[in-house]
Every structure is written in structure tokens, then in C-alpha cells.
Amino acid sequence: MRDFPSCFGENGVQIADASSSSSSSGVSTDRNAQSLVTCVYQCKLHSCCFIVTTTWTKNIMGQALSVEIDDSSTQSVCKLEIKPWLFSKRKGFKTMEMGSNSIHAFWDLSSAKFGSSPEPIEGFYFAITVNQELILLLGDMEKEVYKKMNHVMTSSPNSVFVSKKEHIFGKKVYTTTAQFCGKGQVHEVLIECDTVSTNDPCLLIRIDGKLVLQVKRLRWKFRGNCTILIDGLPVEVYWDVYGWFFGNFIGNAVFLFQTCLSAEKLWGSGSGSDHSGVSWSSSLAKDSRSQGLGFSLVLYAWKNE
């Protein structure tokens, strides 16, 4: 990926993505690796805290799910790879050991329905238990999960959706969904920008069809930030569309939506000046997990040829 410079100075923020290959210009040219959605969940069990990262991907070889479970108390990590469209593992389970903990993962993707994203919309479940206690449940098939576990559905897992990173594609319009407030409403996020047929492009961002941000003279304001309100909460919005206008090869734009974190805290905390090559979006997610901050959404917007 390329740099996402700070709106408050000349120092930049390095956004790295292991799934992308970069040219000498710093702009990724590997289109096959770009379709992905990475979600981070903070899951609490008694006095322990587990960080679960799921990455849904799609390329010419098929679709896959990669899962990483991080036990923050013992700093232990275990990983799981599911490639149901390649190896017919659309339904199954796996047992893993992480320190003294017994980890079980259950999934059923055999009836999963998809939109334009590699992340399924409905008709699936993915669940994780630690020592036979449910810590994470994804999908809309809760009854099937509890039936498989021989558990009575008494309460939901104590998990929080921390961050989402997604690669989105389009010519003028880019869309995704996001849940900015815990288990609140799922919102449609729409980014619109015509950089081809107009000499004075304008950036528009809509939430559930309502215009919340308009940036005129975009060639001169290709980087910036502002605060909007979603579900009554202040959300910091950052944009960097330099790649759309001045990037070589296949340029991309980067957008960040961050709740409960001011611009001064973001750029002043150190996460906004990382030159060590560590993923900026990953650092932001770790800060959110450790400090109890809000939800972050990072979008990489790629233009279709």
C-alpha cells in the first residue's frame, strides 16, 4: 500500500497490507489479492480477553476464510485456514490447543449467500469456543450453533466488533456496510466520486442515503478530515484520494471512519507517525482494543478499469 499522510503535518502513516504486492512506485498492482474483508473482535471470557481476527478473501482461486485467535493474557496465538470453495470444507469443525486452553471452531458455509464482498451476508455461521464456552458467533444461524454444541441459548457471547478493513471496487460509486456502535444499526456507507468525466471532481459520502460529507475542488483537497454524527456519536472521517489522481498504475483511495477518538488523539498518540513498516490500520485496531476505544472502518477504494 501507499502512505496515508497526516492532515496535521508532513509526516506520513504507513499502511501495509500483506495480501498486496507493490510496485516501485508504492502502489499495489496485484488485483487478484485485493478482494478482502478483515474484521477484529474483542471477546471476553471471565477474566480473560481474546482477540479474534477474521479475514474473508476472494481471488481467481476461490474464496477462503483465515482466522487468528490471540490470547492477550498469555500472548499465545493460534490460526485456522478454511478454504471451502477449493477443498469442499464448507461445513466442519477443528480443535486447537492454545496454552492451557482448548479451542474449538465450528462453521457451516454450505448455504452462505454473498454480495459483492467476499464476506457472506446470510445463511452461515462461524463460532469459536474456549474450554467449551462460546466466545464468538458470526452469521444468522444461532440455533444451529447451540444445537451442535448441545447448549441452551441463554445469552450471547461477550464480544465487541472492534474494526473492519475492506477493499471495495467501483467506477464512480463504492459501497459497504458498517456497524459503528456495538450491536446497533447496520448502516450503508456510500462513497461517490467521478474522476473521469468532470474537470472538477467532488467527493460525496452518504450514510443510509443521507449526505454527510461533500468535498469540492477535490484535486486540491485530496487529503483531509472532518467530524460527522452517526447514531448520535461523533465519527472522525479521513480521506486520502491522492492515488486516484496522481498514482501510477492502478491507484486507490483510502478512507477511515473512527468513532470515539479525536483527531488530536489519533495523530498525537504515536499511531499516526509509525515509520517502522507496521500496518497503521492494525496499530489502530490494537489501540482500540487496549484502550477501549470505538469502532474503526478502513476502506481501500479501487477503481475498476
The string of pLDDT tens digits covering residues 276-296 is 223 334 444 444 444 445 789
Q: Please provide residue 278's backbone torsions phi and psi, each rounded to the nearest 5 degrees.
A: -75, 145
- For residue 65, which of 42, 92, 96, 45 has the smallest C-alpha distance? 92
Burial class (CB within 10 angstroms; exposed 0-12, middle 13-18, buried 19+) of 264: exposed
pLDDT computed for residue 236 by the predictor = 93
pTM of the model: 0.77
Binned at pLDDT 50, 70 and 90, residue 87 comes out as: low
* Residues 145-189: tens digit of each pLDDT: 888 776 655 567 888 889 999 999 998 999 999 888 766 788 999
Q: Which residues pair with 129 in a beta bridge?
A: 104, 134
pLDDT at 196: 80
What average pLDDT does the segment 228-241 reach? 91
Q: How far is CA 107 from the centre of its chain?
A: 20
